[in-house]
Amino acid sequence: MKFGIFYEISVPRPWDPGVEKRVFDNCLEQVALADELGFDSVWAVEHHFLEEYSHCSAPDLFLTACAMRTKRMRVGHGIVVCVPEFNHPIKIAERTATLDILSGGRLEVGTGRSATWNELGGFRANPDETKRTWDEFVRCLPKMWTQERFGYQGRSWSMPVRTILPKPLQKPHPPMWVAVTSPGTEIDAAERGLGSLGLTFGSVREQEVKIQNYRKIIANCEPVGEIVNNQISTVNFLFCHEDTEKGNKIGRRMLGSFNFLAAQLLAAREAYPTKSYPSLGLLPTLRKEASGPADQSGVPEGIAIGDPERVLRACKRWESVGVDRINFLLNALETVPQEEVLNSLRTFARHVMPHFQDGSAQAAAAGGGR
């Protein structure tokens, strides 16, 4: 099991001058500490127009800053939107290769297609087409990274033969992932030999079925790249505090803030009838999180909030169903004061990480276990 941190970069109103800088600075301070403590990776979303929920519209720049402040952590796009109205594929290949070089070969490339009308409508992208354009992009990217010269005539985009520069430092190329929100996307990931980057908060049982499916299918995949990335990553919240009551209370406040923020987004499916988006994105799982079964702490099953013992139990539960990595959201709307976020990271590294094979090695290497 490996542990990472995951950023939406949520900025609360009022948006007085400097508030965004303060939030970005807090995030970068957390990243630097997480690197010291032995966390494996930092991920950043690409979102546009999502007021308060996410101000992370230029993740490559944020991740570059992360790479400059860290020594070991991998830096991950979670995800790059593979829709031409958002990002031209040549620019994706160029920017990711540059980030891989600048980070010393520490890049992970998550791919996806956006799930909100806020974003799809804002860029005037056609929701019916996004699955197809994503598929084209993920097949082209490895070739653009590895072939000296590349030309392409496709459905959503084409280019004459050119040399796309620079090339990534990692050989043959950085590991690739797919954001898994809609049901069935884990199958798309497995068929293409891509890692499954879970971005919803479904129950452990629901995820277990998806994981079993994924493992079966990826065993016989036709990889789109030169490597198969057989890994399952899931996203979770983290607030770990030695005082049980405080851990639960602050963590639940963060969870509630995130749910309300996410609920304000307009899911593509809600606004635009299409086969392309078979679910309401985060909304159905948020519903469960808001009203679903919880243990005596009041925190839903599988959520890494509470004292170290509870957080350990939650992480072990995910490990037991075959998850390889957990990426943690550390804050929402800055509801958790920065000092508490940093303490939560330290507490997790000291009391929870050592109970995991990779986590233990990470923490020991970084002195987090002391």
Determine, following the binding rule CB under 8 A, whether residue 184 of this chain makes contact with other proteins: no
- Smallest distance from other proteins to CB 109, Å: 29
For the chain, how far is it from start to end, CA to CA, in angstroms?
20
Restricting to residues 341-370, name those near other proteins by CB under 8 A: none
- Smallest distance from other proteins to CB 346, Å: 28
Binding segment for other proteins (CB under 8 A), chosen from 161-169, 281-289, 297-305, 351-359, is: 281-289
Residue among 51, 226, 242, 309 that touches other proteins (CB under 8 A): 51
- Residue with smaller CB distance to other proteins, 102 or 263: 263
Whole-angstrom Cα distance, residue 336 to residue 334?
Answer: 5
245-284 burial, b if ≥16 CB within 10 A, otherwise e?
eebbbbbbbbbebbbebbeebebbbeebeeebbebbbbbe
Residue among 151, 166, 273, 337 that touches other proteins (CB under 8 A): 273
Residue among 21, 71, 91, 287 that touches other proteins (CB under 8 A): 287
Whole-angstrom Cα distance, residue 10 to residue 323?
Answer: 26
Instruction: Give, for 162, the enclosing helix (H) or strand (E).
Output: strand 158-162
- Dihedral pair phi/psi, residue 34, rounded to 5°: -60, -35
Nearest to 3 by CA among 337, 318, 332: 318
- Smallest distance from other proteins to CB 286, Å: 5
Residue among 266, 294, 321, 361 that touches other proteins (CB under 8 A): 266
Determine, following the binding rule CB under 8 A, whether residue 334 of this chain makes contact with other proteins: no
Whole-angstrom Cα distance, residue 278 to residue 272?
Answer: 11
Determine, following the binding rule CB under 8 A, whether residue 13 of this chain makes contact with other proteins: yes
Whole-angstrom Cα distance, residue 235 to residue 76?
Answer: 13
Binding segment for other proteins (CB under 8 A), chosen from 143-151, 268-276, 298-306, 317-325, is: 268-276
Alpha-carbon Rg for the chain in angstroms: 20
Q: Is residue 179 within 8 Å of 111, Cβ to Cβ?
A: yes
Restricting to residues 64-103, name those near other proteins by CB under 8 A: none
- Smallest distance from other proteins to CB 50, Å: 8
- Residue with smaller CB distance to other proteins, 13 or 149: 13
Q: Which residues contact 261 (CB under 8 A, 6 or more apart)?
A: 10, 52, 53, 332, 333
Determine, following the binding rule CB under 8 A, whether residue 298 of this chain makes contact with other proteins: no
Total residues in contact with other proteins, by rule CB under 8 A? 31
208-236 burial, b if ≥16 CB within 10 A, otherwise e?
bebbeebeebbeeeebbbebbbbbbbbbb
- Smallest distance from other proteins to CB 152, Å: 30
Nearest to 170 by CA among 219, 225, 221, 220: 225
Determine, following the binding rule CB under 8 A, whether residue 182 of this chain makes contact with other proteins: no
- Smallest distance from other proteins to CB 266, Å: 5
Restricting to residues 240-259, name those near other proteins by CB under 8 A: 257, 259
Determine, following the binding rule CB under 8 A, whether residue 24 of this chain makes contact with other proteins: no
Q: Which residues bind other proteins (CB under 8 A)?
A: 12-13, 50-52, 117-118, 121, 257, 259-267, 269-275, 280, 283, 286-287, 290, 333
